[in-house]
Amino acid sequence: MVNYTHRSLAEVDTGKNILFLLSIGPSNAYGEGRTFEDLLNFLHATEYPTEKLSLGLLIVNKEEFEAIDKRITQYYEEATPSTKKFQSIKLLYAPFLESSTLDREERHHNDKQKERRRTLARARNYLLYNTMDHQDYVLWIDADIISLPDRILTTFVESDRDIITIRITQGNQNDYDRNAWVGARAKPSSEQLAQMKNDPKYVYVPHNSGDTKNLAVFANGKEEFVELDSVGGTVLFVKAEIHKQGVSHTPYYAIGTDFGIKEGYDGIETEGLCYVAQALGYKCWGMPLVTGEHVL
């Protein structure tokens, strides 16, 4: 782990501090034609007091880690106190995750979702527990997000909601992150449950039912906030007190587990985070009228 701290700022704690967390995969993590420099410029443009921002990055590829380490060293050497965006930056190298990471073109295949999201959960939890300190909030954001609304961080903070996600667009697609939803989900049949228990190669793919609503359903309405049963992780804002109580990204299907079935059929990663948070009395919210843009 490499920890860059601008101490004259880090000693100042005025409340409402935010930790940005990003997990950077090994293959074209920033989107086609984009680099880490584009990501850094995007994060630097975020409107919020600089003395209240910290950044944590997890990199699974050694060459990319070394390149980012060199760039952040240069960043701190060249920036003045008034131009430093982050009071601290922590870089983590996690080679044990590289072999589990899928290529970009594979990541939305149904039969790959369990292992993909398990790896995401492991990466995010490793990043979280090695970077979170005094911060009041955590902003999870994918490295291939290219646009966020002005003052979105202030909007999140002033709402005083526990866990918040927004609607993500990608080109003509008006709801990219389908892991944000409310309502009943489909459940496996008794035959499927038996197959899950007896056949380790059987893959049940969680999916919506007719009662499940994604954020796009509310996009033409007037509700600023919609209570959700699950959130996505593309852009996700969480009160740090929730994470500090052990609520994290579940690296397995939490729904449907018992001592006979070590893994259930739904509720992995951010879906599991929301499920556990609700058990502790917290609520998850979506902002269907607010959008961020994902690279094509």
Q: Which of 159, 169, 154, 163 is nearest to 289 (CA)?
A: 169
| Confidence at residue 10, expressed as pLDDT on a 0 to 100 scale | 46
pLDDT in tens, the chain (296 residues): 777 765 444 444 557 999 999 999 877 899 999 999 999 999 999 999 998 999 999 999 999 999 999 999 999 999 887 788 998 999 999 988 876 655 555 555 666 788 889 999 999 999 999 999 999 999 999 999 999 999 999 999 999 999 999 999 999 999 999 999 999 999 999 999 999 888 988 889 999 999 999 999 999 999 999 999 999 999 999 999 999 999 999 999 999 988 877 789 999 999 999 999 999 999 999 999 999 999 98
Q: How many CA atoms lie within 13 A of 62 on its CB side?
A: 3
How many CA atoms does the CB half-sphere of 133 hold within 13 Å? 17
* pLDDT on residue 110: 62
Alpha-helix runs per DSSP H in 79-161: 113-131, 152-159
Torsional class of 148: left (φ above 0), alpha (ψ -120 to 50), beta (otherwise): beta
What was the pLDDT predicted at 9?
Answer: 46
Cα first-last separation, the chain: 32
Measured between alpha carbons, how far is 172 from 164 in angstroms, rounded to an integer? 23
CA 200/CA 212 separation, integer angstroms: 28
Class of domain 2-294: alpha beta
